[in-house]
Structure 1
Amino acid sequence: MRVIVTGVHVTDPHRAHAFYTEVLGMRDVVVVPEHELFIVGPSTGWEQGCQIVLERIEDPVVQAYCERQHREGNSALMLGVPDAELEYRRLKERGDIVFHEELTKDILGLHFQIDDTVGNVLSIHTA
């Protein structure tokens, strides 16, 4: 069994779509902007990983939970890349990415955390 689609709560689905595709390099799976429906997937193809539905936060309870998770630095998603150090340097060079954790090596391997600009902390790992 494997996960094929999951959702992540975001404050702005349009801005989230831009970040996940233009900054992180994911590709469009389903895009219907007028209905705020954005599903993105791995740049390598759907068969290489889980697709993500970028879901607008509508419920105040969900909003409070997401804000607490973000404030505490808890990752909404763990993303895998072939080389976390290379990805870290690429994102650092952009100059517009907020880092919650610099490049670190520990029991989880090589990883770092960034802000996705729409309410989430993302953890990026060598995988």
Structure 2
Amino acid sequence: MRIQMASVFVDDQAKAQQFYTEVLGFTTKHDIPLGDDRWLTVVSPENPDGTELLLEPSGHPAVKPFTEALVADGIPFTQFTVDDVAAEYDRMLALGVRFTQSPTEMGPVTTAVFDDTCGNLIQLVSPV
């Protein structure tokens, strides 16, 4: 068994695609129109056949209170691994990304948390 796909709810798929590709550096894998929405996935360019991230439309009534509660409590919805959190933090800050937690050592890892501009907090993590 392995994970093929994970998802994040996004309030605007076009804005999410731009942020996740142009700022975070992911590559669009699938972009299939489905009525008003799209089946829109991105992947790491380092592993194009690896786990896909679905940029899932947040239209279901349960999504808004769920994601708002997570953001209000400062809880990241998902996590991405990077080689160096501090370097990625500096790179993303220069691109205008808003962080809610600067790089912080937490035992064996360093973490930082940013706002993906689409309704989520996302955590970056790297080994110390």
TM-score in terms of structure 2 length: 0.89
Q: What corresponds to 1:20 in structure 2?
A: 20
The question of whether the paired residues in 1 share the 8 Å contact of 2:113 and 2:122 is answered with: yes
Runs of at least 5 residues in structure 2 that lack an aligned partner in the other structure? none
Deviations 1:36-84 (A, max 9, x none): 221001121234x421110111122221111111111111110001111
Name the CA shift for 1:8/1:108 in 2 (closer, same or farther; >3 Å): farther
Q: What corresponds to 1:31 in structure 2?
A: 31
Q: CA deviation at 1:35?
A: 4.0
2:30 & 2:108 partners in 1: Cα distance? 32
Q: CA deviation at 1:22?
A: 0.4
Q: Which amino acid aligns with 1:124?
A: L
Q: Which amino acid aligns with 1:57?
A: S
| Identity level (%) | 27
SS at match of 2:68: helix
The question of whether the paired residues in 2 share the 8 Å contact of 1:26 and 1:42 is answered with: yes
Runs of at least 5 residues in structure 1 that lack an aligned partner in the other structure? none
Does 2:79 match 1:70?
A: no
TM-score in terms of structure 1 length: 0.90
Higher helix share: 1
Q: CA RMSD in A?
A: 1.6
Q: What corresponds to 2:88 in structure 1?
A: 87
Q: CA deviation at 1:32?
A: 2.9
